Structure 1
Amino acid sequence: MPFLNLSHVTAYSYRHPVSFGEHRVMVRPRESFDQHLLDARLTISPEPADVRWLQDVFGNAVAIATFDRRAKELVFDSRVRVLHTPAELQHVDIEEYARSYPFTYSSEEMPDLLRSIERQHHDPLRLIDSWARRFVNPAGRTDTLAMLSDMTTAIRREFTYVPRAEKGTQSPIETLSRMKGTCRDYAMFMIEAVRALGFAARFVSGYVYGPSSGDMPVGGGNTHAWVRVYLPGSGWVEFDPTNGIVGNRGLIRVAVVRDIYQAVPVSGTWSGFPGSFLDMTVTVDARIDPADAPPALAAPTAAPDMRKTG
């Protein structure tokens, strides 16, 4: 159960002082049985007029910052300490009726899963469907977990990872035709592939770390993206096609959403002279802390700093 220190800094720079509209910040990891938030601080410069926290429709923690001063730089600095409990493939326990594919979700679960089963991208030639069907045994039933694991490792093995700093995501059809992309492209492609087979799937944004401080998994040093698939008996199970990971090993969840555009880490507006915007930089560092025990939790502080208490 490693203790992790996470740093995520997003900085915007401008040629002239500009004013800032409301900004939405989604960088606080989710609390769960497998990841415990021990300390979390969000520092914003210039200091906002107000910061309020809310939970979105998926239960993600979102900070809403408003500003009353102009500046040439806007910085969001998130520092987090997490206790993480990795789970391996053998810990995935699927209900008997769902261990072989095809199966149907229960009538109790289906109403809440429907929007996560619904396809989000057009595939008029059924190219993604055909790719996904490669992993289904045409002569009989297919082991559910083995099929999803094979799909995960096939994307890692057959596609070429190409970092891309620009905003936006390729469509799943583009990713399939080009056979390359980023972690977010891979995630959206796999989501559409498993949905083509009738699975409920969601997009996950967060951080990835290696088993030791010297290891850098693919997608490390930036925010990372992967997939959650709903499997009866285990619930939402992690699949990272970028690194071929099944289970939550090395993965820290921040946002879980139905579509990628609901998981933007930082978004907002600014106004000023045309051409004022210069640059945006994002720096992410996720490292295992060798400490044997978490630090004492401090009392809550005033906004914009926030700490976990209780």
Structure 2
Amino acid sequence: MPLVSIRHLTTYRYRNPVALGEHRMMLRPLESYDQRLVSAELAVWPQPAVLRNVHDVFGNCVSIARFTGRAERLSVESRVTLEHTPQPAFDFDGESYAQTLPLAYSEEDHPDLAQSIERQHSDPTGELEAWARRFVRRAGATSLRTLLTDMTHAIHGEFAYGTRLTGAPQAPLETLALGSGSCRDFAMLMIEAVRSLGLAARFVSGYVYSSSKSGGSQKAGRTGGGHTHAWVRVYLPSCGWVEFDPTNGIVGNADLVRVAIARDPRQAAPLHGTWSGLPADYLGMDVEVEVSVEAEADTQPAPLRRVAQGY
């Protein structure tokens, strides 16, 4: 199994010392069957007056920092190492998943999935739904495995990727019209498309790496490497939440390190907060993400550490 190390450094720069408000940091990967943390460190400068950890409504790990005094710079650095063991997307004990469309969730599951089925973007002429239905068979049952795989590969193959590190995702209709977008644009396009078919879908934020390489930086690997990445998870009975990366055409969670899961991408921001000063004081933000991979992990879990001082 790959042993993945991630360094994520964000630095805000100001012309004059500003008063820093509360900042929320969502940088710690979620532990599960497929990813197990070996070590995790969080360094914040200036040192917060208070630094505490909570879980949000989706169970994501959130660190909350509060400050006193003023500073010309705010830096947040996360360093994590984890074992990553991708799981099969559909096949279990050699049997293929055979769920078909239309899909009716159980009475027990539907109340918890309802908001992940509800569409968030307008589609007044049904253009997005029509695009989604191109993957539905005209006669007979449509395999969800085939539909979701084909949709993932279609976005990967037919849309042009462009890096855009800031700002909200494009509306899905805008992505359709442009034929291009960033990873979060493609994620929202697929989320809204499958929601139009009655499926529950959520936004995932994290990191992507290339398991075909070992040692060194992964910036030149998968599309979307070198910064945070976004993809989709869809809930399918018997399989649970299955992940799809339309940017890279990945079905399943190979090469994808999950950090945050949300109904809306605004709920999965890696770092956000407030500051007080003159508008002209803000000089800019710099982000560095480095991912390195070793082919096999042969380590014992170490105690997790938290560092809350300058570096």
TM-score, L = length of structure 1: 0.93
Write out aligned runs for 1:255-266 (5 A): 255-266=260-271
Match of 2:53 in 1: 53
Match of 2:31 in 1: 31
Letter in 1 for 2:245: D
Match of 2:193 in 1: 193
In structure 2, how many angstroms separate the alpha carbons of the residues matched to 1:292 and 1:145?
31
How far has the Cα of 1:111 moved from its partner? 1.3
Q: 1:292 to 1:47 in 2, by over 3 A?
A: same
Match of 1:181 in 2: 181
SS at match of 1:57: coil
In structure 2, how many angstroms separate the alpha carbons of the residues matched to 1:107 and 1:94?
29
Is residue 12–residue 75 contact of structure 2 (8 Å, CA) maintained in 1? Answer: yes
How far has the Cα of 1:87 moved from its partner? 2.3
> Does 273-282 or 174-183 show the bigger shift?
273-282
Letter in 2 for 1:135: F
Q: 1:46 to 1:145 in 2, by over 3 A?
A: same
Match of 1:308 in 2: none
Q: 1:139 to 1:15 in 2, by over 3 A?
A: same
Match of 1:297 in 2: 302
How far has the Cα of 1:113 moved from its partner? 0.8
Is residue 90–residue 97 contact of structure 2 (8 Å, CA) maintained in 1? Answer: no
SS at match of 2:280: coil
Match of 1:202 in 2: 202
Letter in 1 for 2:7: S
In structure 2, how many angstroms separate the alpha carbons of the residues matched to 1:144 and 1:299?
40
Write out aligned runs for 1:251-290 (5 A): 251-290=256-295
Write out aligned runs for 1:64-83 (5 A): 64-83=64-83
Structure 1 gaps, min length 5: 306-310
How far has the Cα of 1:184 moved from its partner? 0.2
Match of 2:16 in 1: 16
Match of 2:150 in 1: 150
| Aligned residue among 211, 218, 222 for 1:217 | 222
> Does 7-16 or 94-103 show the bigger shift?
94-103
SS at match of 2:168: coil
In structure 2, how many angstroms separate the alpha carbons of the residues matched to 1:252 and 1:185?
19
SS at match of 1:123: coil
Letter in 1 for 2:134: R
Q: Which runs of 4+ in 1 moved over 2 A?
A: 87-98, 289-296, 298-305
Count residues in correspondence: 305
In structure 2, how many angstroms separate the alpha carbons of the residues matched to 1:287 and 1:189?
30
Question: Is 2:121 aligned against 1:121?
Answer: yes
Backbone CA RMSD of aligned residues: 2.1
SS at match of 1:112: helix
Match of 2:167 in 1: 167
Q: 1:300 to 1:155 in 2, by over 3 A?
A: closer
Match of 1:104 in 2: 104
| Aligned residue among 243, 260, 266 for 1:238 | 243
Write out aligned runs for 1:132-143 (5 A): 132-143=132-143
Q: 1:93 to 1:269 in 2, by over 3 A?
A: farther
In structure 2, how many angstroms separate the alpha carbons of the residues matched to 1:247 and 1:200?
16
Structure 2 gaps, min length 5: none
